[in-house]
């Protein structure tokens, strides 16, 4: 199908007619979000947009001040971190499809999403833009997301390639890491994006890897991406990620983007023309880049009258956004079955700033000009209607002088209410970003904790900002049945109050319908089915990036934890977290039984077919994420105790059973050997572990692999 779409003869004809200056115009920006066009030959620009949570608002060609029109409001989607908490491949496709459709409707050709970097530390400023600490889960959700985007004649641009897990010194920090960790943890999602998702474009990262910027790194871009994986799409630089014309050109970069408006002075502009004319760079190398750009244009039907037109702000997109938001909500604790709440209550106290603010307008490049956003406060009021009084108090504030009065107002409200719901956590509004910047340069103790989720900065610690721990503890003293809801794109420190809390809900930035979805979960219209995609440590020092490795480093950052990222570290080194990877409760219960594993080895292939039953033994309809982990019983190298290698989300009516089938291939049992420069499966015993989380294992079976495999 794709070969029929691409006119290779025409591409070569166009290249032969292009002047050097025209070729170079195509490989660098001619605007902040487009490359150069060649009107003489009918070659258009590629128009790009940020888009992790929706197509970004419109900017002039050469200014970072938004146009300010009323025609660029869009659907505000759940963040990538929220989407991942659904553990639902179909919903990943739906979110990608909405984004692609709206990008095309706004006249875009490339949408700069999804972000598929690994969450390494709780402090990562852009954790909310990424899916997980686990490479398998990230890959499994990235592939359908990419396919959903690209069905709309829009290119997904997966980012940031590669080993990019921090914002501190992001333009120059040099990642020091062993190749095994790169291969096992940081590259698999990108490999899946190329081989299974067929991503049409990839964005290079800012950071250095082994001393070379990723945009200049031949090993990464030529040896791995192009030669090993067979990638033939377009490589786009992150904005200002190229700093050497020759290195970037020869490494394989195709389009240089940046943040300044001196477009002719970019490294891939006049300096590139000069390098070709002086014989430093061959013109054939520029032809290669132009060829890939033209192929992309054919893939997107840019030379066809049949290109899809897209649409934005449709009712159907908003409905699907609500579906995603509903499945993203995670129930972490529910002692005494406090949840769901009764709708017959007379007075509900909703306390906390996150109940009453819009998150769509913050986060850096993830900002969205949303048509609307249902806040949690609005969602609760809409659900309960006029027979219940829903009263609101801020509960906390950044203003130290007003903190006592704000706290007292909240406590008084809690004392006089039937139900108390605290909704706090992190934020990423523009106001909070300014406060964060001020706090970084402040010596006042009361101003120091202003942690936010945003591009451009990492957090300073895991603490909740604005003294939220104090108000949570006070509310729990006044009303031990206070429901605590944490909104955050990263793990936060819950240690001072979590043992007192009976009901705890966790949610990331959940899109324009997030408040409605949260209300439906709290009051029982929706049974929660979200699961954690990261481990929540009890304290920052328990996180492997901080206990073994370093974060954020300075000129260098050492990833000395290697492959032991997230739950791989906690399970292997027997460190107890606050909440484990894969955890999430339901209002019903599920039973696992009847496990069968069939192993075959032939023609250098391994296939282990794992079958088991899941039954809803409760009284409510619900969905369970059944997770399959692999344990290598005896290995010649140190390996994690468990690694996620399969999962399936199963929706069941009360009393209903379903058989789940998971197929494990050779890669499911392999590790990467630095010594042999290959993937290795050793013969011997492997345990197949099936459960509701990484520690809640319900079924176990062993297999014996007879031969050693190298690939």
Topology of the domain comprising 590-710: Immunoglobulin-like (2.60.40)
Judge contact between 180 and 674, C-beta under 8 A. Answer: yes
Q: How far apart are CA 370 and CA 367, in angstroms?
A: 9
Judge contact between 504 and 486, C-beta under 8 A. Answer: yes
Q: How far apart are CA 565 and CA 571, in angstroms?
A: 10
Judge contact between 29 and 13, C-beta under 8 A. Answer: no
Judge contact between 38 and 25, C-beta under 8 A. Answer: yes
φ and ψ at 485, to 5 degrees?
A: -120, 120
Cα pseudo-dihedral 76, 82, 84, 87, rounded to 10 = -110
What token pair was written down for 279?
């014989």
- In DSSP terms, 404 is beta-bridged to none
State residue 633's pLDDT score. 98
What token pair was written down for 294?
């033209």
Q: How far apart are CA 207 and CA 194, in angstroms?
A: 21
What token pair was written down for 608?
């282990």
C-alpha distances in Å from residue 53, one per residue of 66, 128, 262, 318: 17, 10, 29, 13
Q: Is 633 exposed, middle or buried (0-12, 13-18, 19+ CB in 10 A)?
A: exposed
Q: How far apart are CA 146 and CA 154, in angstroms?
A: 10
Please work out, in degrees rounded to the nearest 5, the angle formed at the alpha carbon of residue 659 by the alpha carbons of 655 and 664: 150
Q: What is the pLDDT of residues 510-532, one digit of tens each?
A: 999 999 999 999 999 999 999 99
pTM of the model as a whole: 0.96
What is the length of the chain? 711
| Peptide bond preceding 162 in cis form (omega within 30 of 0) | yes
According to the 3-state scheme, what is the secondary structure of 141-165? HHHHHHHHHHCCCCEEEEEEECCCC
Q: How far apart are CA 292 and CA 253, in angstroms?
A: 11
Give pLDDT < 70 ranges for the chain: 1-4, 429-450
Dihedral sign from CA coordinates of 118, 556, 166, 49: negative
Topology of the domain comprising 325-531: Rossmann fold (3.40.50)
Q: Where in the chain is the domain with CATH 2.60.40.10?
A: 590-710
What token pair was written down for 674?
């630095």
What is the secondary structure of 485-524 as a DSSP string?
A: EEE-SS----TTTTTT-SEEEEE----TTHHHHHHHHHTT
What token pair was written down for 110?
């490339």
Q: How far apart are CA 302 and CA 314, in angstroms?
A: 24
Minimal CA–CA distance to 515: which of 365, 312, 360? Answer: 360
Q: How far apart are CA 46 and CA 296, in angstroms?
A: 9
Q: How far apart are CA 497 and CA 500, in angstroms?
A: 5
Q: Regarding beta strands 110-112 and 155-161, do their DSSP bridges make them parallel or antiparallel, or are they unpaired?
A: parallel
Q: Where in the chain is the domain with CATH 3.40.50.1700?
A: 325-531
Q: How far apart are CA 529 and CA 134, in angstroms?
A: 19
φ and ψ at 705, to 5 degrees?
A: -85, 130
Give strand ranges (E) for 165-319: 174-176, 201-204, 208-209, 212-213, 234-237
Any residues with CB less than 8 A from the CB of 194 and at least 6 apart, and which? 202, 225, 229, 230, 231, 233
Q: How far apart are CA 180 and CA 228, in angstroms?
A: 16
Active-site choice (238, 254, 432, 453): 238
The yes-or-no answer on residue 109 being catalytic is no
Q: How far apart are CA 65 and CA 240, in angstroms?
A: 18
């Amino acid at each position: 199908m794709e070969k029929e779409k691409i006119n290779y003869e025409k591409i070569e004809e166009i290249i032969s007619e292009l002047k050097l200056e025209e070729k170079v115009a195509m490989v660098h920006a001619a605007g902040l979000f487009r490359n150069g066009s060649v009107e003489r030959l009918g070659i258009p620009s590629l128009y790009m947009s940020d888009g992790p949570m929706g197509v970004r608002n419109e900017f002039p060609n050469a200014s970072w001040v938004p146009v300010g029109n009323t025609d660029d409001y869009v659907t505000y989607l759940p963040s990538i971190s929220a989407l991942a908490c659904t553990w639902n491949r179909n919903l990943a496709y739906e979110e990608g499809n909405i984004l692609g459709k709206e990008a095309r409707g706004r006249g875009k050709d490339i949408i700069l999403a999804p972000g598929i970097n690994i969450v390494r530390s709780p402090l990562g400023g852009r954790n909310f833009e990424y899916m997980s600490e686990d490479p398998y889960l990230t890959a499994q959700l990235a592939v359908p997301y990419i396919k959903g985007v690209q069905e709309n004649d829009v290119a997904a641009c997966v980012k940031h390639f590669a080993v990019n897990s921090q914002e501190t010194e992001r333009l120059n920090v040099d990642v020091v890491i062993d190749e095994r960790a790169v291969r096992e943890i940081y590259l698999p999602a990108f490999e899946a994006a190329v081989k299974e998702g067929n991503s049409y474009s990839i964005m290079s990262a800012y950071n250095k890897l082994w001393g070379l910027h990723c945009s200049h790194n031949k090993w990464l871009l030529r040896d791995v991406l192009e030669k090993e994986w067979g990638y033939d799409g377009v490589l786009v630089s992150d904005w200002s990620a190229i700093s050497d014309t020759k290195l970037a050109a020869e490494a394989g970069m195709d389009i240089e983007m940046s943040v300044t408006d001196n477009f002719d002075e970019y490294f891939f502009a006049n300096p590139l023309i000069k390098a070709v004319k002086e014989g430093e760079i061959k013109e054939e190398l520029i032809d290669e880049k132009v060829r890939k750009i033209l192929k992309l244009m054919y893939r997107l039907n840019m030379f066809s009258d049949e290109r899809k037109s897209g649409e934005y702000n449709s009712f159907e997109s908003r409905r699907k956004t609500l579906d995603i938001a509903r499945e993203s909500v995670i129930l972490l604790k529910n002692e005494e079955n406090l949840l769901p709440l009764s709708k017959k209550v007379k007075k509900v106290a909703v306390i906390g700033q996150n109940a009453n603010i819009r998150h769509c307008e913050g986060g850096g490049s993830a900002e969205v000009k949303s048509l609307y956003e249902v806040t949690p406060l609005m969602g609760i009021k809409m659900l309960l209607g006029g027979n219940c009084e829903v009263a609101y108090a801020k509960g906390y504030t950044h203003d130290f002088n007003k903190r006592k009065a704000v706290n007292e107002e909240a406590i008084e409200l809690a004392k006089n209410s039937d139900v108390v719901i605290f909704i706090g956590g992190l934020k990423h509004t523009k106001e909070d970003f300014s406060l964060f910047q001020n706090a970084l340069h402040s010596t006042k103790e009361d101003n120091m904790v202003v942690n936010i989720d945003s591009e451009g900065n990492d957090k300073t610690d895991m603490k909740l900002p604005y003294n939220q721990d104090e108000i949570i503890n006070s509310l729990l003293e006044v009303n031990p049945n206070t429901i605590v809801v944490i909104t955050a794109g990263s793990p936060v420190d819950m240690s001072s109050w979590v043992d007192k809390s009976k009901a705890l809900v966790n949610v990331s930035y959940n899109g324009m319908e997030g408040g409605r979805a949260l209300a439906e979960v709290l009051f029982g219209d929706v049974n929660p089915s979200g699961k954690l995609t990261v481990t929540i440590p009890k304290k920052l020092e328990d996180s492997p990036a901080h206990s073994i490795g370093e974060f954020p480093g300075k000129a260098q950052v050492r990833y000395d934890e290697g492959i032991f990222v997230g739950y791989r570290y906690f399970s292997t080194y027997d460190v107890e977290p606050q909440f484990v990877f894969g955890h999430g409760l339901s209002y019903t219960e599920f039973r696992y039984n009847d496990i069968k594993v069939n192993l075959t080895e032939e023609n250098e292939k391994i296939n282990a077919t794992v079958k088991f039953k899941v039954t809803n033994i409760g009284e409510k309809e619900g969905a369970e994420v059944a997770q399959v982990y692999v344990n290598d019983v005896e290995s010649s190298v140190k390996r994690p105790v468990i690694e996620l290698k399969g999962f399936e989300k199963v929706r069941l009516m009360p009393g209903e059973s379903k058989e789940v089938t998971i197929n494990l291939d050779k890669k499911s049992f392999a590790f990467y050997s630095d010594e042999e420069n290959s993937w290795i499966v050793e013969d011997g015993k492997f345990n197949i572990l099936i459960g509701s989380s990484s520690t809640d294992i319900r079924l176990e079976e062993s297999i014996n692999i007879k031969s050693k495999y190298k690939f």
